[in-house]
Structure 1
Amino acid sequence: MVGPPPAERRSRRDLGVPSLVSVVIPVRNGVDVIDEQLSALANQDYLGPFEVIVADNGSTDSLRGHLDDHPLADRIRLRWVDASGFPGAAYARNEGVRVAAGDFIAFCDADDRVYPEWLRELTAVAAYSEAVGGAVETHSLNSRLVQSWRPMLPSETPYEIPGYLRVPPTCSFGIWRQMFDKVGGFDTSYNRGAEDADLAIRIQLAGGVLGHAPKALVAYRLRDTLRGIWSQSVMCGEGHAHLYSDYRHYGMPRDKW
């Protein structure tokens, strides 16, 4: 089992090993990319049981039919759930968790690729953390040019708001179901980004330990056009402004210009 890094906090109690992990994937029109992620999940070296729930946020690309006859369906206990009632990944993830049977929830995205040890490393750190952020790399799914547009932190470094709290992305994230329910899941008002940071902040403000699993690695697919990067950057900026509005009275510092 992976031990905690020296600087890591530990929960006041031993949280143990999940009886079942539910992997939730929010997706809208991902039929052309999701198979790579599903294959990666089928190749996990995690020894415990897990299920995979695809929360479909209004796809129009025949995603459901594609998954109904998927060759990996039995191997990864694949389920499709209708999450089209409200636009956005926050709502889709909540709907996925709503039908999940697991006592530990892991989140990843349809267009990325988890490494074989991803679930094993997330659940190892979850033994002493109410929630766990993993790590991402951008070299295996993106060209060098595209990588240069958006540098990422090294896997050993947790994502955080400087001078405040950790905010790992939900493309590599895990949380005990009890804590997810305690904080009320994702806030669907964050429909322009930062829904993951908002959840992470609420977990920590509620007294939960948010651990870091540097070996729970995900190959992250970047936007591969300048227009796409710009659109994503604008969305992230709006999300961060939303965060500051909600948490400035809880000690969140304002960004420098």
Structure 2
Amino acid sequence: MKRMLVFGTGSGWENIRNIFDYSKLNIEAFVDNNKMKVGKKYGKKVVITPEEIKNYQYDFILIASQFYHEIIKQLMDLKIPRKKIMPFYEQASLFRYNWIGYIDPRYLEGRVILKKVDECEVEILRGIREKKVDISLLESYKELNFNRIKYNLFKELILLDENHRKDAKELSAKLQNHGLYLKYVSSGHTQVVFREKTVALFISVIIPVYKDVVGLKDTLDSLSNQTIGRDKYEVIVVNDGGEPEIAELCKKYQVQVIEQKPNRGSYYSRNRGLEISKGEYLAFVDADIKVPTDWLKKGIHALKEYDYVAGDIRIDTTKIKSLANYYELKTAFRVNNYILFGHFGPTANLFVKKRVFKEIGGFDERLMSGGDKEFGERIYRFTNFKQSYNDKLFVIHPPRDYKGLLRKLDRVYSGHRQLAILYPERFKLQKIRFIDFLKEVFTSPRNVVHNKLYSFSCLKVLLFYWWIKNIDLYKRMKYAGNLI
């Protein structure tokens, strides 16, 4: 039996705690950086500080947190060998570290493991494209019996040399029958025809707007004071719906405007903005957001290393007037999680190289919500472009009110449903049993944050979190089609 320390006692661990085979693993202790948890018992085991690890005998440290990059560095600074560290939320971790044998067989075809299988397949395909396949990853993948057919196809494709292109094409076609693609097959719904010659080191900012003159003015104001020269960037506003006041505002700020009548949605609008853009680099922002003066400078710098960069989105703390505003402040836009688990960043603060769009097309114009998710996931699944999250590259977003929160939930979950219908092989709707919904109604909300700087009482904050949690679950069930 292997001895294990678990680093992390939050939701990251709660989501995976049941999948392990505890006849092969024994948890010696939990490790956490939260001083409020240290010294207390968690699951009958003591919670210790990272510095106390040296007092324990162990074979592995399992990192059960999405912040594994920072934790790995912290552990290595404590002289802990890298080979003893297993970051669960790293891509394809179960296969990369050969941990399939430690999974309870009952969970091998469960949601958590199937996501890891998917990650492993994507990593193998990336290796095939670059002709640098990690063979140990492939052999670990073979251990799951239901992967055998795909494993054999991978193996044959890897062994082929460049003189057997016809055979490679046939093997690629067979992989496609299993939902695995070496190359993205474009569709008319994502087609973008670039009309302008690309200007090197130039950046185009694209802003779709629908009847929000005040919000657009805030955004254009902040874009007028960038630290890079005005000759280094352009601003393209797509007036979705053809509002006359927006056209007048764009004329005042001397920015390009595309009149779109009737309105077709934000992703259609972004594609039309792309078509007339000149920049080698592209920045996307929404028409109610304020950007710092160095926003474009930082974005260009980030694109020197990556192809797709999702920036942080911070709620405007000066506008926290209601519990709904406060809830937004504490829960909205967890962009780091979006990149880690969904491989996308919101188009409210996104930087992308134009060559990405030239290779795989633009946003899916059929989508009213979730187009940023589909586009980012498409890059991850079908290309070897490098994606990143950058917390220093931030924008300021106004908090939603209560009605805005409800509209957001409807928009998000209707988008999830549309994605599952249009791309069933890539996006799944999570079915929720009605009995689980009822149980959740009588369960306290998790991760409630009360800040004494604001006038809301702890009880009011708790009740509001509980109320929104249940509305969220109700709408998730509704759009998943399993609401009784």
Q: Which category of TM-score, normalised to the shorter sequence, fits these structures?
A: 0.7 to 0.9
Q: How much is the aligned-residue C-alpha RMSD, in angstroms? A: 2.9
Quickly say closer, same or farther: Cα 1:21–1:92, change in 2 above 3 A.
Answer: same
Quickly say closer, same or farther: Cα 1:86–1:32, change in 2 above 3 A.
Answer: closer
Name the residue aligned to 1:107. 284
Q: State how far apart, in whole Å, the 2-side matches of 1:228 and 1:111 are.
A: 14
Match of 1:222, SS state, is coil
Q: 1:50 corresponds to which letter in structure 2?
A: Y
Quickly say closer, same or farther: Cα 1:54–1:220, change in 2 above 3 A.
Answer: same
Q: State how far apart, in whole Å, the 1-side matches of 2:215 and 2:332 are.
A: 25
Equivalent residues of 1:187, 1:199 under 8 A apart? yes
Superposition pairs for residues 187-226 of structure 1, below 5 Å? 187-191=364-368, 193-207=369-383, 208-224=385-401, 226=402
Equivalent residues of 2:242, 2:262 under 8 A apart? no
Name the residue aligned to 1:233. 409
Q: State how far apart, in whole Å, the 2-side matches of 1:29 and 1:160 are.
A: 28
1:64 to 239, 247, 256: 247
**Aligned-pair CA distance for 1:126:** 1.1
Q: 1:158 corresponds to which letter in structure 2?
A: N
Equivalent residues of 1:132, 1:173 under 8 A apart? yes
Equivalent residues of 1:31, 1:61 under 8 A apart? no
Name the residue aligned to 1:43. 225
The number of residue pairs the alignment matches comes to: 237
Identity %: 23
Comparing 88-97 with 205-214, which one deviates more in the overlay? 205-214
Q: Does 1:167 align with 2:372?
A: no
**Aligned-pair CA distance for 1:122:** 1.7
Deviation per residue, 1:26-81 (Å, 9 max, x gap): 0111222222211111122235700000011113352112222x1x42xxxx2111
**Aligned-pair CA distance for 1:161:** 7.1
Match of 1:114, SS state, is coil
1:181 to 353, 358, 373: 358
Equivalent residues of 1:140, 1:219 under 8 A apart? no
Q: State how far apart, in whole Å, the 1-side matches of 2:291 and 2:261 are.
A: 25
Match of 1:20, SS state, is strand
Quickly say closer, same or farther: Cα 1:231–1:108, change in 2 above 3 A.
Answer: same
Deviation per residue, 1:100-124 (Å, 9 max, x gap): 1111110001111112222122222
Match of 1:33, SS state, is helix
Equivalent residues of 1:161, 1:167 under 8 A apart? yes
Equivalent residues of 1:25, 1:110 under 8 A apart? yes
Q: State how far apart, in whole Å, the 1-side matches of 2:342 and 2:215 are.
A: 33
Name the residue aligned to 1:19. 201
Superposition pairs for residues 111-122 of structure 1, below 5 Å? 111-122=288-299
| Structure with more relative contact order (C-alpha pairs < 8 Å, separation 6 or more) | 1
Name the residue aligned to 1:158. 336
Q: 1:190 corresponds to which letter in structure 2?
A: L
2:259 to 63, 82, 85: 82
Equivalent residues of 1:45, 1:116 under 8 A apart? yes
Name the residue aligned to 1:53. 236
More helix by share: 2
Match of 1:51, SS state, is strand
**Aligned-pair CA distance for 1:165:** 3.1
Quickly say closer, same or farther: Cα 1:97–1:154, change in 2 above 3 A.
Answer: closer
Quickly say closer, same or farther: Cα 1:113–1:248, change in 2 above 3 A.
Answer: same
Deviation per residue, 1:123-167 (Å, 9 max, x gap): 222112111101111134631523323334687x614277x4322
Q: State how far apart, in whole Å, the 2-side matches of 1:254 and 1:134 are.
A: 27
Structure 2: any 5+ residue segments left out of the alignment? Answer: 1-68, 73-89, 92-129, 131-198, 433-484
Quickly say closer, same or farther: Cα 1:37–1:242, change in 2 above 3 A.
Answer: same
Q: 2:228 corresponds to which letter in structure 1?
A: Y
Normalising to structure 2: TM-score of the pair? 0.45
Deviation per residue, 1:196-255 (Å, 9 max, x gap): 11111111122221111211111112332x2222112111011122234455524x5654
Larger radius of gyration: 2
